[in-house]
Amino acid sequence: MQGTETESGNDLSRSTLAADQTVPLSERAREGSSWQGGTRHAYPESHIEQAEIDLHLNAWLGRLTGNISPAALAGAWQDWASHLLLSPNKLLELGTQAAVSWQRWLHCGAYPVQPLAQDKRFNGPEWHAWPYRQISQGFLLTQQWWHRATTGVRGVSQHHTDVVSFVARQMLDSLAPSNFLASNPVAQRIAFDSGGRSLLNGAMRAADDARRMLSRAPAPVSFRPGKDVAVTPGKVVLSNPLMELLRYDAATPTVHEVPVLIVPAWIMKYYILDLSPENSLVRYLVNHGHTVYMISWKNPQAEDRDLSLEDYRRLGVMAAIDAIVDGEETTRVSACGYCLGGTLLAIAAAAMARHGDERLASMTMLAAQVDFTEPGELSLFIDESQVSFLEATMWQQGYLDTHQMAGAFQLLRSNDLIWSRRQRHYLLDIPDRHNDLASWNADTTRMPYRMHSEYLRKLFLNNSLASMRYIVDGRPVSLNDIRVPVFAVGTLTDHVAPWRSVYKIVHLTDTEVSFLLTSGGHNAGVVSPPGTPGRTYQVASRAHDAPYLDPDSWQEQTPTHEGSWWPAWQAWLASHAGGRRAPPPTVPGIDAPGTYVLQA
């Protein structure tokens, strides 16, 4: 089910979408085409029932496999195994390495294997005593051997190498001695000291987690929107079938002329940028004289299955800009997009530039990609087989639930998010720490079938935006048309939008780009208010006609600053926000955070 760029459905009206929602796949096929996998496909009537059987089967399998395609895994394994059998030198090397590892394990006191710096599983003096030293050393040596076995096999595609190595690592991590009471001396000591209470508490937590997983109940949320988070005073100034537009007035006697529009990702609820007051980017901006607008996306239901990327652009970004310009009596807006919201903003900005729409004063991209050739470890779960498999689940439900994506994101950092958590939670009697960011992470959302299929195929698989093949209003758009100043933020340890991928906007646009690299990951690196300990950042600007500088050279040449990156961005934003003026009149309406953010 390859996507195409000529039949994107960009001109579909709301009435057409509403009508399509009530027409079964088989009926739409009889009309000559049907929406399937992010594009329009013609199905002969005789094959419709067979296609639906395939989709139902794949959706059922997806429930058993966590939406990981068995065919994708089998293809990767076959590629690796067959080429390994055709590499006698590699087999000899692995045999030699096994013998060396055996000798090292017998003499592990003399030649210890050190875990990676981020691997904290075997910390503690108890792991240095017999027999636990031998157990942990045996595991680390086995881990080393499997890494060598699954990498560097001549003829295996890089994607399949990454997949096989990743699967081997997951299997080994699940069998780590730190996961089991019988082989974890720290857990044994705590159990002995507590008289077994630590194990009782762990069993109760495990039972509660299992009950919640089987019943698909949401994780408990300690911080509630409008009560503990998302409490910056504001009003809903626009509501449509896809989003609510929130306005936050500046908290200063005079305000910057150009307001700020923030476009968050629809894979998350907007209030990650308006967490508790001390962690709120919105509050920080209004306290520095900016009028801030924020899009709060609807949490889609099954009936929203046919919402498209074009709907998100038109009813989201463009509707918000129209409302701001009309309501503020201003001619320009500074726009900021986070994650998927940044990608959508870039599409909108390119289309605006093509049409001569000059209402953007500047554009900020927070951990947002526009080129998907190097999307990082997330690409392990995105290929033709995997996307087709995932589409079956979305086709059946009408949406993709965040719970169904959580497994993939957790596997990318399984040591931290799965096994280490279970070790702390079940064996060591260490309860989860609740904070506003963790509570937001548990407040899950959904994504419409059509939109997410388009996103995966057009952007991830086909890289249509960066290659000037992404269609808006019947014609492709080019990022090179963007002329407004750009501020792009990458985060150093981002697993979702790797900073080197984010950096590509520097040479994909023909404008001045200021690139900032901050410490932290995809979420914690962005939520980095002044006063957060241990934060650093690098920032440098590039003129539109400057020669290309690769990301590693940029990182090496750019000085590092201590502290939060927020003040540096706010200063840049203010420099493109015009003069100061009296605050705009207050507006009536529903109080922020509105109603969409409260949808379960």
Point out the residues that are catalytic. 339
Nearest one of 240, 69, 237 to 167, comparing CA atoms: 69
C-alpha torsion 596→455→355→349, nearest 10: 70
Q: For the chain, what is the radius of gyration of the CA atoms?
A: 26
**How wide is the angle at C-alpha 309 spanned by C-alphas 303 and 315, nearest 5°?**
80
Q: Residue 75 class from Cβ within 10 Å (0-12 exposed, 13-18 middle, 19+ buried)?
A: middle
C-alpha torsion 514→519→524→528, nearest 10: -70
Tell me the longest C-alpha to C-alpha distance in the chain.
78
**How wide is the angle at C-alpha 304 spanned by C-alphas 299 and 307, nearest 5°?**
100
**Cβ contact 294:324 at 8 Å:** no
**Cβ contact 366:337 at 8 Å:** yes
**Cβ contact 360:333 at 8 Å:** yes
**Amino acid letter, 10:** N
Beta strand extents in 494-584 (DSSP E only)? 513-518, 536-542, 560-562, 580-581
Residue 172 gets which letter from DSSP? Answer: H
Classify the C-alpha dihedral 497-503-506-507 as positive or negative: negative
Round to whole Å and give the CA distance between 490 and 497: 8
Round to whole Å and give the CA distance between 182 and 35: 53
- Point out which residues pair with 235 in neighbouring strands: 247, 591
Nearest one of 449, 310, 308 to 25, comparing CA atoms: 449
Round to whole Å and give the CA distance between 309 and 297: 13
- Point out which residues pair with 518 in neighbouring strands: 491, 537
**Cβ contact 586:248 at 8 Å:** no
- What tokens does 225 get? 């929107």
Beta strand extents in 229-299 (DSSP E only)? 235-239, 243-248, 255-256, 260-263, 292-297
- Point out which residues pair with 236 in neighbouring strands: 246
Three-state DSSP at 459 gives helix
Nearest one of 313, 388, 345 to 486, comparing CA atoms: 345
